[in-house]
Amino acid sequence: MTKRLGIGLIAHDRKKPDLAAWVTRNIEVLSTHRLVATATTGSVLKQSHPDVAVEVVKSGPLGGDQQIGAMIAEGKLDVLIFFPDPLAAMPHDVDVKALLRLVLVYDIPAAFSSKTADALVTSGLFGEAREPSPSGRPSA
């Protein structure tokens, strides 16, 4: 039997459609795990998949990134899927850096793009190894 993983899901504004599309392509495997998302990301995912349970924490700039980080430190999250927007300024940059630091300190698998997230899914980490999902075009 495959372990039920805690998976953190975060996407910056312009990357939310990319994360939603990635989740849609991988919903079969993701729905068997515990999903935790920051507020706006979670609302986007709940709209596209109302039948899938997604726990929601605060918005990233309001402390959600720190809440996800705390869950990593407490051993409640095993994987982070985070689609940051590398071309946008982040007023809460320090929170994002703290989150990335915890990913490294606790050595959890993390993906920052759909192709890397696909690699995690096909690795067998989420259960049985799967074929890569067809990748979509990144949004501008």
Collect all residues with Cβ–Cβ distance below 8 Å to 27 and sequence separation of at least 6. 49, 52
The 3-class secondary structure across the chain, one letter per residue, is: CCCCCEEEEEECHHHHHHHHHHHHHCHHHHCCCEEEECHHHHHHHHHHCCCCCEEECCCHHHCHHHHHHHHHHCCCCCEEEEECCCCCCCCCHHHHHHHHHHHHHCCCCEECCHHHHHHHHHCCCCCCCCCCCCCCCCCC
Catalytic choice (65, 78, 95, 118): 65
The verdict on whether 95 is a catalytic residue reads: no
| Positions marked active-site | 65
